Amino acid sequence: MFATQGRGLDPGRLLLSFLLLAAWEAGSGQVRYSVPEEAKHGTFVGRIAQDLGLELAELVPRLFRMASKGRGDLLEVNLQNGILFVNSRIDREELCGRSLECSIHLEVVVERPLQVFHVEVEVKDINDNPPVFSLREQKLLISESKQPDSHFPLEGASDADIGENAQLTYRLSQNEYFSLELPTNSKQIKRLSLILKKSLDREKTPELNMLLTAADGGKPELTGTVQLSVRVLDTNDNDPEFEQSEYKVRLMENAAKDTLVIRLNATDRDEGVNGEVTYSLTSVKPNGRRLFTLDENDGEVRVNGTLDYEENKFYEIQVQATDKGNPPMAGHCTVLIEILDANDNAPEVTVTSLSLPVPEDTQPSTVIALISVSDRDSGVNGQVTCSLMPHSPFKLVSTFRNYYSLVLDGTLDRESVASYELVVSARDGGSPSLWATASVSVEVGDVNDNAPVFAQPEYTVFVKENNAPGCHIFTVSARDADAQENARVAYSLVERRVGERALSSYVSVHAESGQVFALQPLDREELELLQFRVSARDAGAPPLGSNVTLQVFVLDENDNAPALLPPPPPSQRVARWVGAGQVVAKVRAVDADSGYNAWLSYELQEEAAAAPGGARSAFRVGLYTGEISTTRALDEADAARQRLLVLVKDHGEPALTATATVLLWLEDGGAAPKASSRLVVGPAAAAAEAALVDVHVYLVVAICAVSSLLVLTLLVYTALRCSAPRGEGNYYSLVLDGTLDRESVASYELVVTARDGGSPSLWATARVSVEVGDVNDNAPVFAQPEYTVFVKENNAPGCHIFTVSARDADAQENARVAYSLVERRVGERALSSYVSVHAESGQVFALQPLDREELELLQFRVSARDAGAPPLGSNVTLQVFVLDENDNAPALLPPPPPSQRVARWVGAGQVVAKVRAVDADSGYNAWLSYELQEEAAAPGGARSAFRVGLYTGEISTTRALDEADAARQRLLVLVKDHGEPALTATATVLLWLEDGGAAPKASSRLVVGPAAAAAEAALVDVHVYLVVAICAVSSLLVLTLLVYTALRCSAPRGEGACVPGPARLVCSSAVGSWSSSPRRRRHRVCSGEGPPKADLMAFSPSLPPCPLPDGEVGEQSTGGDTSSKVGYCFFIFIFCFGNISLLSRPTSWPSVLGFHSLKKIKPFHGNKFLISFKYIRHLNFSCISPTFHVLNNEIKMKWRPWITT
């Protein structure tokens, strides 16, 4: 693109100009225009928007702007039509002086995206400056004796224009004596001379006046004039003459004042006064008279001011030498001084910032700022190179001559670095080089690229039921790493249905604070677990968010009294011949509460406790079974009608009760009563007795273990004492007076002071530096002596299940820890076939899929040994509990006979058969239920004559049988577990209905006679004594540990056996995780895939926490230390109390053994202990789910019964 205004351009020259311009644009990629100087305001320069490839409609939205360094607002762009025009007067001579090239450099910037263009506008010269003489009149003294053709130099004119406009021609007014000699040198230095055409005669013409006219080459031409005044002098034969008419000198611009430029010498061939010469300066161009001095006597030209190459590169000095004759004669010479450049100008750096702040999502290669550099020096001294410091995601890119762009060279992240302080350095090529710097502050603008983040993905909250409406139950908090609006977080519920109601009817969350409120009283019997999500969203555009899961467990309160079910018949008949221990009736009750609040006990009221005449009562009720049995053989003295009042009471605070009335009629004859299902004869009794003996063995072993631990503790405490020797004399020895511990103090700087006894005393000191060398005296230490890990069965081979880590306080090789398994046999196989441990990282891997039905608990030890000599080591115990998955279908056992016969006289509710099944799984997966398939329905749509107990498998009649019932009854019973997905098995039972025959054979589980009762009572007595012994020894041990712990923890920090830190729950990440939040004192339990159920246990460190620093006291709950220190005492108390309660019931022994396998309990939330588990290991027995709490140092224990098959 090219635009020009002017005159005298023919088509050929215009075409050549276009071709040259196109070649220049191909090389530079820029746009170039031209405009004449002194153009009027509004003069068209070029269609800049079109030439840059920009649409007119996008100039304003993209913030089109133009800048010109140091040129003001000479040019402007009309944003409506994209035309570049002249905005103010342009004077080429003011812009560029006498430089042959003159142009205005424009920087055009548009944004969205950011682009930078360089535009050059050449300023064309016009003939707007006439030639100018420095003097209005030039005077010449010429002797009349001068011969024709003599030359007399004149001072020429100067023109501020360039080129043809500055090419001067001279004309002299008409006269008969003089003509002009025009300048001819290539430098175009304007030197003129008058040539004498004929001899002068002073008597005829004493003075001569002429007009000298200078005209430039412009069109039209401009002229300037000067008056020449020639005075003719009387005879003085010889002029002073210089050795040269022109002298050339080179001078550095940094030449000091009084520096000698040249010594001129002019000679006069006359004698005497006519031969004495003086020197004078006639002119210094351009305007440099003050910069030089000339000694009038010796002709020395010296520097008198400061020379600047950047201001003027050449000076022309006219020197005149005059003799002292009368009239005086003069000679002339010219001194041409070329100024040489010195590196006396440092580079200049100009920064134009753009688009600040820079958004952190800006793409690389985006231009951030424009930087221009300049150096007034020339040549190598003016060659500038730029660099950027320090290292940052930015770089400098050269875009044009001495123009750079600051470009993004990487990605920005405001959350990591919010701003950059950059330094642009410009250094020239001089010697020594000069440099300059400019600071660029780049602020990174925030974009919404970070979602709010919760500290934990899941929180567990415990809320007591019957809470006050609107009570605050928890506070969620999310942090957003962005700034301002992008970091403002708002909280909301993730709405869902809870049963038939909306979640928002139960809880609400405050949008700003994150406080969660319960909107209504919660009922644990209606809603045991409320699981929901809270969303946190920021205010950015677009908004980002994340969710956190809250599991709100509703804790039970004793708000439900026991309920009797099903109601017993109004009266029951009992034969008088029934012996002692015979169960004659049973009271059944349930409590809708859970845990301790649902643990029911049964008592016989006083009305039925005493027999007439003060005799021993004939009946009693099982404390926990509700079974009414005889205490002795009935006789004739007993009343025929017995009215028994049974009080059913739960264990809540306060306890709630219900009363059941049982009427018994004693009859003298009749068939033998149906046998109880709870008595055992024959081999079954022997097996029960053997089980009790096994329990005795375990109790004795427990007593021995606790006693040994007590004795060992006393021995260790007694052994902690030591002593040290002492020395004296004029010679001193620096003696070790105690034990060294490099791990506590690695070096000692000692000062020995010696002081004499003079007055005043004198003294001296010496320094002794003692470095303590490391020995291998510290074994690797694990954070806990035991870890509990939970792994789902059927895991992938080689999966990572846990990582052990031990720390060695020694240094270097003594601290390098290697891990290994402590090999042992697991059944018939080696431990190493099940698990392996990485020697360096301590990662534990399961080498094969685990089967819970084969291996329920894998307990092993991992050894950590250091590399010292000799090596030291320690072990940690890992208890890997294999969690059950529903991978076993129910199995029927023993298989029922092909068919069973049933008498038609059997009434409603009579048990006629029983389906027995077991499931090799555990917990919920082994809880079986029985259903009668539709095939068993009676023909014709009548009511089926049989039903099956949902959890017992007992097939009983629903009505009295009659003749319409088919003689052959084929029943299909579906046995289904409660796993996910549920697995099933089908049993087929054939029943033959007969019209007569004996009564059904009694169950084989009956125990008769007083011998069985006496044996049971004896075993219970043994239990009591053993439990009392355990409690006594355990109490003594706990008391000793408490005293020892109090003494050690009262010592300075670092002593004792305190273990800092909160409780830690660990679990394999492959199957779920248990974690704790030490800062917030909230814990989270995750069971991996599927809904939470079964096998839930909490564990604690085996030692109490150390006292906290002052800064952490605020986080420790009151009484937290006390509850932690009494942790083991509390556990042993619960152990003993639970055993007393449970061992009184032989049917609870399997549950007791399952409870023993847990080994530990742990503090939960500071001063609160929690042990909660559902642990079903044996069929046909009831399991107990205890929950323990310590609130404000008050121990609460709750038991929840779980009915199994």
What is the predicted pLDDT for the residue at 1204? 35
Given a cut of 70, is residue 737 above it in pLDDT? yes
pLDDT of residue 846: 94
Q: Which of 71, 94, 124 is the last residue of a domain?
A: 124
Determine the average pLDDT of the residues in 202-216: 88
Q: Going along 313-418, which residue ranges are E strands?
A: 314-323, 330-340, 348-353, 358-359, 367-374, 384-389, 394-400, 403-408
- The structural domain count of the chain equals 9
pLDDT at 1003 over 70: no
Contacts of 150 (CB under 8 A, 6+ apart): 142, 195, 196
Q: Comparing C-alpha atoms, which of 744, 742, 766 is closest to residue 753?
A: 766
- DSSP tag of 952: T
pLDDT of residue 1009: 42
pLDDT grade for 1192, boundaries at 50, 70 and 90: very low
DSSP output for 96-152: HTT-S--EEEEEEEETTTTEEEEEEEEEE--S----B-S-SEEEEEEETTPPTT-EE
Instruction: List beta partners, residue 781.
Output: 807
The answer to whether residues 489 and 527 belong to one domain is yes
**Candidate from 447-451, 633-637, 686-690, 927-931 with smallest mean pLDDT:** 686-690
pLDDT number for residue 279: 93
Helix (H, G, I), strand (E, B) or coil at 453: strand
Q: What is the DSSP string of 1047-1099?
A: HHHTSPTT-TT---S-------TTT--EEEETTTTEEEE--SSSS--S-----
Mean pLDDT of the chain: 77
Residue 728 lies inside a defined structural domain of this protein:
no
pLDDT at 877: 95
Cα within 13 Å of Cα(490), Cβ side: 9
738 occurs within a structural domain: no
For residue 782, being part of any structural domain is answered with: no
Specify the amino acid at residue 742. Answer: R
Q: How far apart are CA 42 and CA 49, in angstroms?
A: 17
Asked whether the beta carbons of 434 and 343 are under 8 A apart, the reply is: yes
Using pLDDT thresholds of 50, 70 and 90, give the confidence band for residue 938.
Answer: low
Q: Does 1175 lie in the same domain as 1029?
A: yes
Give which of 539, 485, 543, 473 is closest to 509, Cα–Cα: 473
Q: What pLDDT score does 905 carry?
A: 82
| Average pLDDT, integer, range 581-591 | 90
**Predicted pLDDT of residue 6:** 36
d(CA 1026, CA 73) in angstroms, rounded, equals 107
Please name the helix (run of DSSP H) or strand (run of DSSP E) that holds residue 279, with its range, or none: strand 277-285
Across the range 372-379, mean pLDDT stands at 86
Spatial separation of the C-alpha atoms in residues 328 and 239, rounded to whole Å:
8
- d(C-alpha 17, C-alpha 26), whole Å: 14
The position carrying tokens 């006269």 is 175
Q: What is the pLDDT of residue 201?
A: 82
Q: What is the pLDDT of residue 238?
A: 76
pLDDT at 693: 58
In three-state secondary structure terms, 1115 is helix
pLDDT at residue 676 tops 70: no
In a domain, residue 870? The reply is yes
Residues 231, 248: one domain?
Answer: no
pLDDT band (50, 70, 90) for residue 1095: very low
**Same domain as 1196, residue 1078:** yes
Please identify, among 287, 306, 341, the residue that sits at the C-terminal boundary of a domain: 341
Same domain, 314 and 270: yes
Expressed as residue numbers, the domain containing 209 is 128-235
Quick one: how many helices (H) and strands (E) in the chain? 9, 77
Whether the Cβ atoms of residue 1097 and residue 1174 lie closer than 8 Å to each other: no
What is the rounded average pLDDT of the residues 173-179? 90
> Using CA atoms, how far apart are residues 56 and 851, in angstroms rounded to an integer?
77
Identify whether residues 1031 and 1121 lie together within a single domain.
Answer: yes
Q: Are residues 228 and 242 in the same domain?
A: no
pLDDT tens digits, 315-362: 888 899 998 887 788 888 999 999 898 888 889 888 876 667 889 888
Looking at residue 520, what is its pLDDT?
92
Report whether pLDDT(761) > 90: no
Q: Is 10 helix (H, G, I), strand (E, B) or coil?
A: coil
Tell me which of 26 and 817 has the higher pLDDT.
817
What does the pLDDT average to over 1079-1092? 38
Q: In what order do the strands lie in the sheet with 968-977?
A: 900-903, 984-994, 968-977, 928-932
Question: Of the ranges 120-124, 549-553, 1066-1070, 1166-1170, which one carries the lowest mean pLDDT score?
Answer: 1066-1070
Cα(127)–Cα(971) distance, rounded to whole angstroms?
Answer: 126
**Is 76 a residue whose pLDDT tops 70?**
yes
Q: Tell me, yes or no, whether 1047 and 1019 share the same domain.
A: yes
pLDDT at residue 50 greater than cutoff 70 = yes
Same domain, 99 and 161: no
Q: Does the pTM exceed 0.75?
A: no
* pLDDT tens by residue, 103-118: 888 888 888 777 888 8
More confident residue, 300 or 760: 300
Question: Of the given ranges (174-183, 630-639, 667-676, 766-775), which has the lowest mean pLDDT?
Answer: 667-676
The answer to whether the beta carbons of residues 598 and 656 sit under 8 Å apart is no
Task: Give domain status of residue 250, yes or no.
Answer: yes
Sign of the CA dihedral running 142, 143, 144, 147 = negative
Across 27-45, average pLDDT: 81
CA 884, CA 874: separation in Å to the nearest integer?
32
pLDDT value at residue 1075:
35
Nearest by Cα to 783 from 1062, 1164, 1115: 1062
Q: What is the DSSP letter of 171?
A: E
Orientation of helix 683-718 relative to helix 1010-1049, angle to 10°:
20
- The Cβ of residue 497 has, within 10 Å, a number of other Cβ atoms equal to 8
Q: Which of 161-165, 461-465, 581-585, 1149-1153 has the lowest mean pLDDT?
A: 1149-1153
Closest CA relative to residue 208, chosen from 234, 173, 240, 169: 173
Residues 1040 and 1189 in one domain: yes
Quick one: what percent of the chain has pLDDT higher than 90? 26
Tokens read off for 901: 């016969």
49: helix, strand or coil: helix
Decide which of 575 and 1051 is more confident.
575
Asked whether residue 1139 is domain-assigned, the answer is yes
Q: For residue range 474-503, list pLDDT tens digits in order.
A: 999 999 999 989 999 999 999 999 888 899
Q: What share of the chain is helix, strand, coil (3-state, %, to 5)?
A: 15, 35, 45
> Given 555, 577, 594, which residue is the final one in a domain?
555
| Run of H or E residues at 191 | strand 191-196
CB 953 within 8 A of CB 1205: yes
Rounded to an integer, what distance in angstroms lies between the CA atom of residue 1099 and that of residue 1097?
A: 7
The CATH number of residue 626's host domain is 2.60.40.60
Whether 443 maps to a domain, the answer reads no
Confidence of residue 898 (pLDDT cuts 50, 70, 90): low
Angstrom CA distances, 971 to 721, 952, 954, 993, stand at: 80, 16, 12, 13
Contact 153, 141 (CB under 8 A): no
Query: Which stretch, 537-551, 609-623, 702-716, 1168-1182, has highest mean pLDDT?
Result: 537-551
Domain assignment present for residue 527? The answer is: yes
Q: What is the mean pLDDT of residues 1102-1130?
A: 40
Predicted local confidence at residue 993, as pLDDT: 87
Q: What is the structure's pLDDT at 939?
A: 54
Q: Is 403 helix (H, G, I), strand (E, B) or coil?
A: strand
Share of the chain above pLDDT 70, in %: 75
Go through the chain and tell me how many residues it has.
1205
Compute and round to an integer the Cα radius of gyration of the chain: 57
pLDDT at 1175: 38
Inter-residue contact 814 to 866 (CB < 8 Å):
yes
Q: Where are the beta strands (DSSP E) in 827-963?
A: 829-830, 835-837, 843-846, 857-866, 873-883, 891-892, 900-903, 911-914, 917-918, 928-932, 946-948, 954-957
Task: Based on the fold, state whether residues 1073 and 934 are members of the same structural domain.
Answer: no
Model pLDDT for residues 603-645, shown as the tens digit of each residue: 998 765 555 556 678 899 999 899 999 998 888 888 888 899 9
pLDDT score at 403: 85
455 pLDDT exceeds 90? Answer: yes
pLDDT digits (tens, 9 = 90+) for 794-845: 999 989 999 999 999 999 889 999 999 999 999 888 898 899 999 999 999 9
Report pLDDT for 1063. Answer: 41
CA–CA separation, 983 and 974 (whole Å):
10
How high is the pLDDT of residue 236? 65
Is the Cβ–Cβ distance between 444 and 470 less than 8 Å?
no
Instruction: For residue 108, give Cα distances in angstroms to 26, 37, 52, 104, 1107.
Output: 19, 22, 9, 13, 70
Are 231 and 243 within one domain?
Answer: no
